[in-house]
């Protein structure tokens, strides 16, 4: 029996003192003001304008106008009792060409945002890169090009110089797997390229950019600053216990998880990953000294989780399905393991078609805690999209989202009880927003946004989560 097994279902779960209760957003998804104050196009500006790439041609030009409404949004966070806010900086707003001097108006926006957060007692958690590479750097080769990692470190130093006196928590990259393999492999994300070798090169240079950025940040920031990265680690399960399905888990674990955990936390790529991809590349783009650069000490690891992934070996005469939840494409985001079959997990689904299974988060936290003892963890994204409706009185009642978050917070609490050092939870997302290739068709927000008027309306989830955050306690299922 584990410690969590002994807690009755009717009991209130109390979280450790100082546990961070936050929400998360990303710059391109919420800011808008796409051409104001010196900002230039990122790869997502270009991608969203490419016919057929984003639902109904939606763009982030206006998004939810956070650039002009951030003070109201921060006040809303304070009303909800949140103690932390994870946001990203728009690289092309700060450094429009991805090289050279910064645009002070861009930095001033983030200075004002951070000052307002601090004035309301909210800890800013800054992410340097959430997928919005300056288009000029993509034109020069993008993440498959080594120089992009070097430019990223320079950009990190610029942001640190501007905000290092205000921000203590720094995250280099958000979900580099998506940047590399959805952006350069399957092409369902910006920049929309479909080259498996370019995707692997991008993965390495994202790893390298992370390590170089950590070094740049530590050189520019006071000793109290804390470094992290946020990874969308895949909680993998075999379709059957058959050896071939277990090997499918191993293969996807290599290219989905250990491609990041190995270099960042152990200083080496997994040997089986190199074997699985040897027919594509000899990995000659990894130069001597790179892995030492990547392997930098971290103060925490961010984990993003939404749903588990079920995989299997291909069956003779049966086309392998790829229900991996990462968008439809004729090209695979799994280089070297393109023939692995992905199956839909059983159970209830969100509007994204993702299975609701909090046990996946529990298992993932315990795995990482066991493999990397002593490294504090943060759940930096977790949430659900549903078909929200505005009632006649203007309210938005979303009990399925409340149940989703409750179940996953219970999983976090159980993981803590069983030894995982989890320090905080960030609900995705604060606001309904531009949901990448899905445009404005999917709503993840705790706060509803009327896109025509930009009116914000806290949903039931927001009010429920506020009570949890203020009390530092998770009520029993069905509790207030």
Global pTM value: 0.97
Phi, psi of 236 (to 5 degrees): -100, 140
How far apart are the C-alpha atoms of 51 and 262, rounded to whole Å?
A: 38
What is the predicted pLDDT for the residue at 317? 74
Provide mean pLDDT across the span 247-258.
98
Q: Residues with catalytic annotation?
A: 175, 381
Asked whether the predicted pLDDT for residue 88 surpasses 90, the reply is yes
Task: Tell me whether residue 393 is exposed, middle or buried, using C-beta atoms within 10 angstroms of its C-beta: 0 to 12, 13 to 18, 19 or more.
Answer: exposed
What is the predicted pLDDT for the residue at 209? 99
Overall size of the chain counted in residues? 480
Q: Mean pLDDT of all residues in the chain? A: 96
| pLDDT tens figures, 259-278 | 999 999 999 999 999 999 99
11 — pLDDT class (breaks 50, 70, 90): confident
Provide mean pLDDT across the span 155-174.
98
477 — pLDDT class (breaks 50, 70, 90): confident
The answer to whether the CB of 173 falls within 8 A of the CB of 229 is yes
The answer to whether the CB of 446 falls within 8 A of the CB of 458 is yes
How far apart are the C-alpha atoms of 359 and 2, rounded to whole Å?
A: 14
The answer to whether the CB of 135 falls within 8 A of the CB of 162 is no
Q: β-strands 309-312, 123-129: how paired?
A: unpaired
Neighbours of 147 (CB within 10 A): 14
How far apart are the C-alpha atoms of 114 and 161, rounded to whole Å?
A: 14
Asked whether the predicted pLDDT for residue 5 surpasses 80, the reply is no
Strands annotated E in 325-407: 341-343, 377-382
| pLDDT tens figures, 104-144 | 999 999 999 999 999 999 999 999 999 999 999 999 999 99
């Amino acid at each position: 029996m584990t410690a969590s097994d002994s807690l009755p279902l009717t009991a209130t779960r109390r979280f450790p003192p100082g546990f961070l209760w936050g929400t998360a957003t990303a710059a391109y998804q919420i800011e808008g003001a796409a051409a104001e104050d010196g900002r230039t196009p990122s790869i997502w500006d270009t991608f969203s304008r490419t016919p057929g790439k984003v639902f109904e041609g939606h763009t982030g030009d206006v998004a939810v106008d956070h650039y002009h409404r951030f003070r109201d949004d921060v006040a809303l966070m304070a009303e909800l009792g949140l103690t932390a806010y994870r946001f990203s900086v728009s690289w092309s707003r700060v450094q429009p060409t991805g090289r050279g001097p910064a645009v002070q108006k861009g930095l001033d926006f983030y200075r004002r945002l951070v000052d307002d957060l601090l004035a309301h007692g909210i800890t800013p958690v800054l992410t340097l890169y959430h997928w919005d590479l300056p288009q000029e750097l993509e034109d020069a080769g993008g993440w498959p090009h080594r120089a992009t990692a070097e430019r990223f470190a320079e950009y990190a130093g610029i942001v640190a110089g501007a905000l290092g006196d205000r921000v203590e928590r720094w995250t280099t990259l958000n979900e580099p797997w998506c940047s590399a393999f959805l952006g350069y492999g399957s092409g369902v994300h910006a920049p929309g390229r479909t080259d498996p070798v370019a995707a692997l090169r991008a993965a390495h240079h994202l790893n390298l950019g992370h390590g170089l950025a950590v070094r740049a940040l530590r050189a520019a920031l006071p000793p109290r600053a804390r470094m992290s990265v946020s990874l969308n680690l895949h909680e993998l399960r075999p379709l059957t216990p058959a050896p071939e399905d277990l090997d499918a888990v191993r293969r996807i674990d290599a290219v989905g998880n250990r491609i990041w955990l190995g270099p960042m936390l152990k200083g080496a790529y997994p040997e089986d990953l190199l074997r699985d991809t040897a027919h594509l590349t000899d990995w000659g783009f990894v130069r001597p000294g790179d892995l030492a650069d990547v392997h930098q000490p971290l103060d925490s690891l961010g984990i993003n989780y939404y749903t588990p992934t079920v995989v299997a070996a291909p069956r003779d005469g049966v086309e392998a399905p790829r229900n991996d939840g990462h968008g439809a494409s004729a090209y695979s985001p799994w280089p070297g393991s393109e023939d692995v079959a992905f199956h839909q997990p059983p159970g209830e689904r969100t509007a994204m078609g993702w299975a609701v299974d909090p046990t996946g988060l529990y298992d993932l936290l315990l795995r990482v805690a066991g493999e990397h003892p002593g490294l504090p963890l943060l759940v930096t994204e977790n949430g659900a999209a549903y078909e929200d409706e505005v009632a006649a009185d203007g309210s938005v009642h979303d009990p399925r989202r409340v149940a989703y978050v409750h179940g996953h917070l219970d999983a976090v609490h159980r993981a803590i009880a069983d030894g995982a050092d989890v320090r905080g939870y960030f609900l995705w997302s604060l606001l309904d927003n531009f949901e990448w290739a899905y445009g404005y068709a999917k709503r993840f927000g705790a706060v509803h946004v009327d896109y025509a008027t930009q009116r914000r309306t806290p949903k039931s989830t927001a009010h429920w989560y506020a009570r949890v955050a203020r009390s530092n306690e998770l009520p029993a299922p069905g509790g207030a």
